Chains A and B, each alone.
Chain A
Amino acid sequence: MKKNNQNVTWKEILPGGTVWSPGNSEEFITGDWRTERPVMDWDKCKQCLLCAPVCPDCSIPVEGKKRLEFDYDHCKGCGICVNVCPFDAIKMVKEGK
């Protein structure tokens, strides 16, 4: 199976856009049109986990009862996590800065 590659050339891209494997939407990078990105201040984060369930794009991975870094491949920068955080641990930063 060829992996989804953002820089794939016309000679290598899968003909017709056909996807040759199942369950691969995770490989499709949908966060590329984000204009602002959420940035963590880990010193303020208490791992309360209020942010993870409200993310509409499942872009806050949780492992062993702890949230991890944002999945920037799929985060759209909506900022809901910023609003829900009681500890002011997340800030929105303009992309490109």
Chain B
Amino acid sequence: MIRERLSGNEAVATAMKQINPDVVAAFPITPSTEVPQYFSRFVANGQVDTEFVPVESEHSAISACVGSQAAGARTMTATSSCGLALMHEILYIASSSRLPITISVVNRALSGPININADHSDSMGARDAGWIQLYSENNQEAYDNLIQIVRINEHKDVMLPGMVCQDGFITSHAVENIELLEDEIVKTFVGEYEPEHYLLNPNETISIGPYDSSNFYIEHKRQQAEAVKNAKRVVMEIGKEFEALSGRSYGYFEEYRLDDAEVAVVIMGSAAGTAKETADRLRAQGIKAGVLKLRMFRPFPGEEIAGALSHLKAIAIMDRAESFSNMGGPVFAEVKAAMYDLETRPKMIDYIYGLGGRDVRVESIKTVFDALQEIVKTDETGDVYRYLDVRE
């Protein structure tokens, strides 16, 4: 174990260095992150064996990744915000072609109005693309998740691409203490990428990405859905394996003071820390507050979440992205759908919060818990679709 202090971007670049992928193809300037910048330094210094391909756009970056992974090379890229949006078309090619590419995503707002700060609208726009999505609260989790997702993606029952998300600037640029694994341990943990079928195999000639007529397309989608289902099991297995190695526990979500809680917030990303601090302060005042921090959004662990939240009286689901459905954000839609099958369910409200990097303070989350207590007291849910800290 190595004690360090790194920004989220440095942490992810360090994980990539230790994974030592065969190919990294990335767009080198904004809206890209510092991750390819740090990584290209490792390449220039001969610290990795990776072929680094600087390309002219994110559409090209992910296209190069598709070609490279199909050729049989372990491939990674990194992007953010509009960069991920520009990849959108090819994200579907990667997942449907069952290519286990890894993307490090720094979550930042999509324009417009033009904004570069923390916001989940970029990866939420990619939520139906068939990628595994893990969200990180801090730089330690961004590092740990990146090492784990390579194994998850490449598992023979999965073979899907995956993205590890962390919050722009709050996590990506803030320097925090971190515990790194030794290079050799990471190398052993991730192992070699050994695909069954790949383009550069001299013993087998294959074609990747052919036209799929209406007589086959839906069978392929059903098969892809099964891989996503399998990913759920594999995420847990790899999490246990990683815990044995690092002492750090990873599942679908973290339950914080939830056991005897009456009110709770469901939240993803860096603001989970603020929510936990808020719960601590409320607990000190005798209020039974808890937090469910979601780590895995795709696949969505619906049954497990319903199980973890069923005993609560009222829940606020926090969305750092608008979906303009007029029904709340994407996390709310999923959690609420998951809770529907319960015999009796807590009252649920949604808060859109922190868009475009709006600061989320303990005082902000306190108002959410206040609203939940009011719902419990009055037994009236009121408006389910709310905004946090917006000037009225």
Contact = CB atoms under 8 A, between A and B. Distances in A.
Task: Answer whether A and B are interacting partners.
Answer: yes
Interface of A: 6, 8-11, 13, 15-22, 32
A74 to B, nearest CB: 13
B205 interface: yes
17 contacts: A8-B216, A9-B219, A10-B218, A10-B220, A10-B222, A11-B223, A15-B227, A16-B98, A16-B159, A16-B208, A17-B97, A17-B212, A18-B97, A18-B206, A19-B210, A22-B205, A22-B207
A22 B204 CA distance: 9
Contact of B207 (A6, A15, A18): A18
Contact of A19 (B206, B215, B227): B206
B99 interface: yes
A63 B371 CA distance: 83
Contact of A15 (B204, B218, B223): B223
Given A6-B215, A8-B216, A20 B206 contact: yes
B226 interface: yes
Interface of B: 96-99, 159, 197, 204-210, 212, 215-216, 218-220, 222-223, 226-227
Give chain A's interface secondary structure class: loop
Contacts of A22: 205-207
Contact of A8 (B204, B219, B226): B219
Identify the interface centre among A6, A10, A15, A17: most chain B CB within 10 Å of its CB: A17
A13 B219 contact: yes
Contacts of A13: 216, 219-220, 223
A32 B205 CA distance: 27
A21 B206 CA distance: 5
A20 B96 contact: no
Q: Which 7 interchain pairs have the tightest Cβ spacing? A: A16-B98, A10-B222, A22-B205, A19-B207, A10-B219, A16-B97, A13-B219
A10 B96 contact: no
A16 B99 contact: yes
Contacts of B219: 8-10, 13
Given A8-B216, A10-B222, A17 B206 contact: no
B200 to A, nearest CB: 14
Contact of B96 (A6, A17, A21): A17
A69 to B, nearest CB: 24
B160 to A, nearest CB: 10
Nearest to A11: B223
Contacts of A20: 197, 204, 206
A57 B201 CA distance: 32
A19 B226 CA distance: 20
Contacts of A8: 216, 219
A15 B216 contact: no
Identify the interface centre among A9, A19, A21, A22: most chain B CB within 10 Å of its CB: A19
B197 A17 contact: no
Given A15-B223, A17-B96, A32 B208 contact: no
B220 A18 contact: no
A32 B207 contact: no
Given A11-B223, A16-B99, A18-B208, 17 more contacts: A8-B219, A9-B219, A13-B223, A15-B98, A15-B227, A16-B98, A16-B159, A17-B96, A17-B216, A18-B98, A19-B206, A20-B197, A20-B206, A21-B206, A22-B205, A22-B207, A32-B215
A76 to B, nearest CB: 14
A6 B213 CA distance: 10
Contacts of B212: 17
A16 B159 CA distance: 10
A17 B215 contact: no
A32 B215 CA distance: 10
Contacts of A6: 215
A16 B216 CA distance: 11
A57 to B, nearest CB: 16
Contacts of A17: 96-97, 209-210, 212, 216, 220
Contacts of B226: 10
B31 to A, nearest CB: 29
B231 to A, nearest CB: 14
A35 to B, nearest CB: 16
A31 to B, nearest CB: 12
A13 B213 CA distance: 13
Contacts of B197: 18, 20
Identify the interface centre among A8, A11, A16, A19: most chain B CB within 10 Å of its CB: A16
